[in-house]
Amino acid sequence: MAKIYTGENIKEGIRILADFMKEAKYTVVLTGAGMDTESNIPDFRSQDGLWRKMDPRLVASIDTFEENYSLFRDFYSERIKRLKDVKPHEGHYVLADFEKRGIIKCIATQNVSDLHRMAGNDKVYELHGNIRKIRCNYCNHKAELEDFLNREKCANCGRDALRPEVVLFGEALPMDEWLWAEEDIRKSDLIIVIGTSLEVAPVNQLPMLTRGKRVLINMEDVDIYYDFDLKLMGKAGEILRELREVYDSL
Ligand code: OAD
């Protein structure tokens, strides 16, 4: 069982992670909604999480899209509007800096917010899609965010079927993104998993694919069977900021 570093001894844990990173040749990162909460985007399963207030299958599923399109559209329109002024936090910028310096190779993310790219990361695998991109569900014609928010029909086929490019309950993950993420994680000798409950398949299987070390950075312990080598419990943004300082001092 990995030792948990938190509170007063978090610095010791951060130092261990920085050492792992110095030794590693291929470090990858997997993020979830906890990566974005410090940018004021609620996660899904914490106390204030989105799915604590509503059942995802009633609003975010392909069945809802087909059977109750206006409810579906209202739910996603609200989520999109709330993203308007959202910006990456320092933790996102640390990860972007790490990628530019070759310290991490890629980020596989469950987040649809686009904040990793906004912070400057280039190799981002969006395993659950991107809420800022809009397309027609039937003819795949691309549309603008404003078209969706303005309740417009698809300009190509005329159907009431615009939707964000997110993975809905009942849908498969985007195959390319999944295969690229899988390939990179298989190559990795260190995976840093940040801000996810690891409750959702198949993404929660990805940490098992590394041939190297597994590290968790999360507010709470979520390990049931992952066999992490190291766990840092705390806020992702704060831990990442400190991690860069320690890394650069070695
Ligand atoms: P969850 O809400 O399930 O888990 C987020 C985790 O992040 C929790 O364990 C929190 O304790 C932790 N957390 C919150 N704030 C944090 C912070 N500042 N620093 C560190 N940790 C923090 O979110 P995901 O695991 O990402 O899918 O959920 C996976 C998928 O479930 C989502 O992509 C979404 C949802 O249904 C789809 O919509 C397809």
Non-local CB neighbours of 5 within 8 Å, separated by 6+ positions? 12, 13, 14, 16, 230, 231, 232, 233
User: Residue with the nearest Cα to atom 6 of ligand 1?
Assistant: 196
Nearest to 2 by CA among 203, 216, 249: 216
Q: Tell me how far apart the alpha carbons of residues 40 and 159 are, in angstroms, rounded to a whole number.
A: 34
Stretch 76-98: mean pLDDT: 97
Model confidence pTM above 0.85: yes
CA triple 2-197-187, angle to 5 deg: 65
Determine the pLDDT at residue 3.
86
Stretch 95-102: mean pLDDT: 98
The tokens for 105 are 């190779």
User: Residue with the nearest Cα to atom 23 of ligand 1?
Assistant: 33
Q: How far is the CA of 48 from the centre of ligand 1 (A)?
A: 11
Determine the pLDDT at residue 224.
67
Please write the tens of the pLDDT for every residue from 24-44.
999 999 999 999 999 999 999
Determine the pLDDT at residue 58.
87
Q: How far is the CA of 197 from the centre of ligand 1 (A)?
A: 5
Give backbone dihedrals phi and psi of 87, rounded to 5 degrees, phi first.
Answer: -130, 155
Please write the tens of the pLDDT for every residue from 104-140.
999 999 999 999 999 999 999 999 999 999 999 999 9
Over the chain, what is the mean pLDDT?
96
Determine the pLDDT at residue 225.
73
Q: With bands split at pLDDT 50, 70 and 90, how would you rate the model's confidence at 82?
A: very high
> Is residue 173 predicted with pLDDT exceeding 70?
yes
Determine the pLDDT at residue 213.
97
Q: How far is the CA of 195 from the centre of ligand 1 (A)?
A: 6
Residue 110 CA: which ligand 1 atom is closest? 33
- Based on the residue annotation, tell me whether 128 is a catalytic residue of this protein: yes
Q: Tell me how far apart the alpha carbons of residues 82 and 206 are, in angstroms, rounded to a whole number.
A: 30
11, 14, 26, 91, 98 from 18: Cα distances, Å: 10, 6, 14, 15, 12
Tell me the percentage of the chain whose pLDDT exceeds 70: 100
Stretch 222-233: mean pLDDT: 86
Determine the pLDDT at residue 2.
82
Stretch 69-93: mean pLDDT: 96
Q: Choosing from 89, 92, 116, 128, which is the catalytic residue?
A: 128
> Is residue 87 predicted with pLDDT exceeding 70?
yes
Q: With bands split at pLDDT 50, 70 and 90, how would you rate the model's confidence at 226?
A: confident
Determine the pLDDT at residue 202.
96
Determine the pLDDT at residue 144.
97
Pair 50, 59: CB distance under 8 Å: no
DSSP symbols for the chain? -PPEEEGGGHHHHHHHHHHHHHH-SSEEEEE-GGGTGGGT---SSSTT-HHHHS-HHHHSBHHHHHH-HHHHHHHHHHHHHHTTT----HHHHHHHHHHHTTS--EEEE---S-HHHHHT--SEEETTEEEEEEEETTT--EE-HHHHHTTPPPTTT--S-EEEEEPPBTSPPPHHHHHHHHHHHHH-SEEEEES----STTGGGGGGG-SSEEEEEESS---SS---SEEEES-HHHHHHHHHHHHHH-
